[in-house]
Amino acid sequence: MSKTIDELREEINEVDEQLVKILAKRMDIVKEIGKLKKENNLSALDEKRWQEVLERALENAEKHTVSEDLIKKIYEKIHATALEIEKKYE
């Protein structure tokens, strides 16, 4: 028996909640990194690390058949937000 649209929407709601929780955890880690970078006089932007993160995300997108363009846009926004947070500690 197939699921109803309401059941599928409820599944989306659950996944969305998980996404937000994961993003909140990621931003908590970013705050800790910002503190460590300040203590060690490091710049918020680490271009090499950013490229590694993006490359890994795009590989995962391909592996899970998710649009690479979508993942790139999402990660660019995540990265921009993370930099804003880290710069608060500079």
Residues 52-71: pLDDT tens digits? 999 999 999 999 999 999 99
Residue 60: other Cβ atoms inside 10 A: 12
The parent domain of residue 16 ranges over: 5-87
pLDDT band of residue 32 (cuts 50, 70, 90) is very high
Amino acid symbol at 53? V
The SS3 of residue 67 is coil
Q: What is the torsional sign of CA 67, 19, 57, 50?
A: positive
pTM confidence score: 0.90
Q: Could you give the number of structural domains in the chain? A: 1
Whether 30 contacts 85, CB under 8 Å:
yes
Mean pLDDT value across residues 34-49: 96
**CATH number, residue 72:** 1.20.59.10
